[in-house]
Amino acid sequence: MGSELIRKTYGVAGGYEISIAEIADAPANAPTVIFIHGSGPGASGASNFRNNAQVFADAGFRVILPDLIGYGQSSKPEADYPLELFTQTLLDALAQHGVTGGHLIGNSLGGGIALQIALDHPEFTIGKLILMAPGCVAEQASYFTMPGIAKMRSGFGSPEFNIEEQRRLIGNLMHPSSAHHVTDALVEERFAVARTQPKDVLARVKTPDLGPRLGEVKQPIFVLWGLNDEFCPESHARLFLDACPDVRCLTFSQTGHWVQVERAQEFNRYSLDFLKNG
């Protein structure tokens, strides 16, 4: 990420703190994009979107990179993690940061959070939604039948968890042809976060099935999916195509769960075109 990241931390309900990073020097009145990261050991806003955020800033957007509760530099309580906890704490911190609307870009769990904001929080003005393999569009139990979840079993949350295990878990998110994206810098960055996370972050997540409500989302949606995603099945893209009034979908071959990493150039190009031209 080329420009300086300005980071601020805000106290929210429950006594928690949410950290928000922003790329410095956005033009006055620049449209805002909020990148919402997914789950997993060591996840954070900056690490999940390191290949995208600066490109959007260079294209004239104000770029916001929050760390969800349980992740990055935000509070990591030993507690249940229902979707609404992620949503409410994020919106609270964004409001304190002076952000009450913008385009939402969400991957996996972050896509589910973006959908819940669109469905249940009209106080936040959404322009468009960009969703990469979004979760929360099926019953939670169905996701646990996916092969990627089985591969994620590890010593996470215990003293036995080590950096090589972190490297393996990152690799599981991507197609084998994308192994070059598992850099030492990325592994070290995520491992530093993972060592501070309790196992509750993954073990006690509670997500609803928002699939039956997709038709209620009126904002334009761009859905991107890897055909080889082992965490959120690419077939779920059809749920959006069947239900949403304004949606387009793009799928990628030889691509896993991390479209924004594995296909960063295409993701950036197509997403910016969608935001600027529809």
pLDDT tens track of the chain, all 278 residues?
Answer: 567 899 999 999 999 999 999 999 888 899 999 999 999 999 999 999 999 999 999 999 999 999 999 999 999 999 999 999 999 999 999 999 999 999 999 999 999 999 999 999 999 999 999 999 999 999 999 999 999 988 888 899 898 899 999 999 999 999 999 999 999 999 999 999 999 999 999 999 999 999 999 999 999 999 999 999 999 999 999 999 999 999 999 999 999 999 999 999 999 999 999 999 97
What amino acid is encoded at 243 in this protein? Answer: A
- What pTM was computed for the model? 0.97
Can you state the percent helix, strand and coil of the chain, rounding each to 5?
40, 20, 40
How confident is the model at residue 10, as a pLDDT?
98
CB 136 within 8 A of CB 109: yes
Sequence ranges of the domains in the chain:
5-277
Active site residue 121: no
Look at residue 2 in the predicted model and tell me its pLDDT: 63
**pLDDT digits 0-9 by tens, 36-79:** 999 999 999 999 999 999 999 999 999 999 999 999 999 999 99
In sequence order, the β-bridge partners of residue 107 are 132
Question: CATH second-level architecture of 5-277?
Answer: 3-Layer(aba) Sandwich (3.40)
Q: Radius of gyration over alpha carbons of the chain, in Å?
A: 17
At residue 42, what is the residue type? G
- Among residues 37, 103, 175, 257, the one annotated as catalytic is 257
